[in-house]
């Protein structure tokens, strides 16, 4: 049993009247930690410490020294790699290979990548004429925005948290992180890393808790937070946006998605099959960029559905440390109940259940976990509940299509616009379709490839703003103009 404390001003703190909440394992529903819930006083203390660091030691550091520290953070994460993998597996229940090969290494890389970006992005300069003929010179400088509120999701907690913390610190800001109540461990572990490498106190703070009437609400309401970055549900993003309007504070949101995968008959069949399988079922379907709507050109539709069914039925359930397993549980019993409710709605609305649709038969030691079957449907109208609403589980509906225009209209028929993946050998078609699908990121013959220098974010109800490379700098800094009369 672990005791997870808030991390404020470089110290792990517990208040005299501290309230705690339980963190349960998604594997077996066993309580694995007691987590200190931050009240308004703790949140305000964290924000004050962040402000003090900004005005003090951290704000006085040179860019070179600041980026050296971020490199040291990445190196210390790598040195403690096994600790982070174990913590993330305990929080999420996902397989070891997902944590060790993707989520933790990419989380560490976020600190080095953005340390490099901030050192190598040039400013603008312009000469202008003046009436006296002497002219003037304009140039830009970037200054940190201030104290950043970072509100993180539970599906890839360390990766998505560092995706925000890395560039925020690289730009000279300080942060107060509110991790999901479902996944508190790696955010706290990063506090130990910050202390080990000598990051000044108050630069990185962590407050645990929930949303309404808890740490999340308190963090977004305080006007001492200069900007807020959030990944999560669209509904929560709307609430945060209202809170941020007090003080006209900037926001950057990655919100919900109902992403389409488009498979043309001329695709590399095996590559497309593997790609759609990964995008639908990786991380037990708990990926913002995942595919819940699959459109397959009619000549290969039946073959594709059968092959996808065989792959889904071959997943191996088990504990994350069991290297023979490749499929974990959902994050919680509450989330499983939500996903199962969608499974029932699909059945009630007339779906053909190709595979899945329920709960797998697990051994006694895992039967109380949040396990669920990967599920494939066909035969539903585009107005069906499971085609319109984001489920965030291991499921997809597969529908045939006949023409390019038809599938573009199908892909765009959603209030969301986060991502899509197109599978075709016809490069001209790939370019045409990519330009017409209304999303923030399109993959062609791939999925989940991310160059951190490129813009990332959603269209429509899937988000506001762009992060990645110089686009992160645009959010985490204020760009100022200096005009010098010559």
Kindly tell me if the per-residue pLDDT of 275 is higher than 90.
Answer: yes
Q: How confident is the model at residue 287 (pLDDT cuts 50, 70, 90)?
A: very high
Q: Which residues are catalytic?
A: 254
The CATH number of 2-255+462-485 is which of 3.30.930.10, 3.30.200.20, 3.40.50.2300, 3.40.605.10? Answer: 3.40.605.10
19-45 mean pLDDT:
98
Q: How confident is the model at residue 304 (pLDDT cuts 50, 70, 90)?
A: very high
Percent of the chain whose predicted confidence (pLDDT) is above 70: 100
Q: How confident is the model at residue 15 (pLDDT cuts 50, 70, 90)?
A: confident
Kindly tell me if the per-residue pLDDT of 44 is higher than 90.
Answer: yes
Fold that domain 259-444 belongs to in CATH: Aldehyde Dehydrogenase; Chain A, domain 2 (3.40.309)
Q: How confident is the model at residue 437 (pLDDT cuts 50, 70, 90)?
A: very high
The per-residue pLDDT for 25 is 98
Domain boundaries, the chain: 2-255+462-485, 259-444
Kindly tell me if the per-residue pLDDT of 305 is higher than 90.
Answer: yes
Kindly tell me if the per-residue pLDDT of 211 is higher than 90.
Answer: yes
Higher-pLDDT residue of 13 and 252 is 252
Q: How confident is the model at residue 78 (pLDDT cuts 50, 70, 90)?
A: very high
**How confident is the model over 145-201, as pLDDT tens digits?**
999 999 999 999 999 999 999 999 999 999 999 999 999 999 999 999 999 999 999
- Whether pTM > 0.85 for this model: the answer is yes
Q: How confident is the model at residue 1 (pLDDT cuts 50, 70, 90)?
A: confident
**How confident is the model over 359-400, as pLDDT tens digits?**
999 999 999 999 999 999 999 999 999 999 999 999 999 999
The per-residue pLDDT for 418 is 97
Task: Yes or no: say if 245 and 74 are a contact pair by the CB < 8 Å rule.
Answer: no
């Amino acid at each position: 049993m672990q005791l997870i404390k808030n991390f404020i001003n470089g110290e792990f703190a517990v208040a005299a009247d501290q309230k705690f909440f339980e963190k349960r394992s998604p594997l077996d529903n066993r309580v694995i930690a007691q987590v200190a819930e931050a009240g308004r006083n703790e949140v305000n203390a964290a924000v004050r410490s962040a402000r003090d660091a900004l005005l003090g030691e951290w704000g006085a550091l040179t860019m070179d020294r600041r980026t050296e520290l971020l490199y040291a953070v990445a190196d210390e994460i790598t040195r403690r790699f096994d600790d982070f993998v174990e913590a993330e597996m305990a929080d999420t229940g996902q397989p070891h290979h997902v944590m060790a090969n993707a989520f933790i290494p990419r989380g560490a890389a976020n600190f080095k990548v953005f340390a490099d970006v901030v050192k190598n992005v040039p400013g603008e300069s312009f000469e202008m004429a003046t009436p006296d003929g002497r002219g003037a010179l304009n140039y830009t400088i970037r200054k940190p925005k201030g104290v950043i509120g970072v509100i993180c999701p539970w599906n890839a907690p360390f990766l998505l948290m560092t995706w925000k913390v890395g560039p925020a610190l690289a730009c000279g800001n300080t942060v107060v992180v509110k991790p999901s109540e479902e996944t508190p461990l790696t955010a706290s572990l990063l506090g130990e890393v910050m202390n080990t490498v000598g990051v000044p106190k108050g630069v990185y703070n962590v407050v645990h808790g929930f949303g309404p009437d808890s740490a999340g609400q308190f963090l977004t309401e305080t006007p001492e937070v200069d900007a807020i970055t959030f990944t999560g549900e669209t509904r929560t993003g709307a609430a945060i946006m209202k809170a941020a309007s007090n003080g006209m504070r900037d926001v950057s949101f990655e919100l919900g998605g109902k992403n389409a995968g488009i498979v043309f008959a001329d695709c590399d069949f095996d590559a497309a099959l593997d790609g759609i399988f990964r995008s639908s079922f990786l991380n037990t379907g708990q990926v913002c960029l995942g595919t819940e709507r699959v459109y397959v050109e009619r000549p290969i539709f039946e073959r594709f559905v059968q092959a996808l069914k065989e792959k889904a039925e071959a997943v191996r359930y088990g504990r994350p440390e069991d290297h023979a397993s490749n499929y974990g549980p959902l994050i919680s019993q509450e989330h499983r109940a939500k996903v199962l409710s969608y499974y029932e709605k699909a059945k009630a609305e007339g779906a053909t259940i190709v595979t899945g649709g329920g709960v797998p038969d697990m051994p006694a030691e895992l039967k109380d976990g949040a396990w669920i079957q990967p599920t494939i449907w066909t035969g539903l109208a585009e107005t069906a509940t499971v085609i319109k609403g984001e489920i965030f589980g291991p499921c997809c509906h597969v529908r045939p299509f006949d023409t390019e225009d038809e599938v573009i209209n199908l892909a765009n028929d959603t209030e969301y616009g986060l991502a899509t993946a197109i599978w075709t050998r016809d490069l001209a078609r790939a370019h045409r379709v990519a330009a017409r699908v209304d999303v923030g990121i399109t993959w062609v013959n791939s999925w989940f490839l991310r160059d951190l220098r490129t813009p990332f974010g959603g269209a429509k109800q899937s988000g506001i703003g762009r992060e990645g490379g110089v686009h992160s700098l645009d959010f985490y800094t204020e760009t100022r103009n200096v005009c010098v009369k010559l």
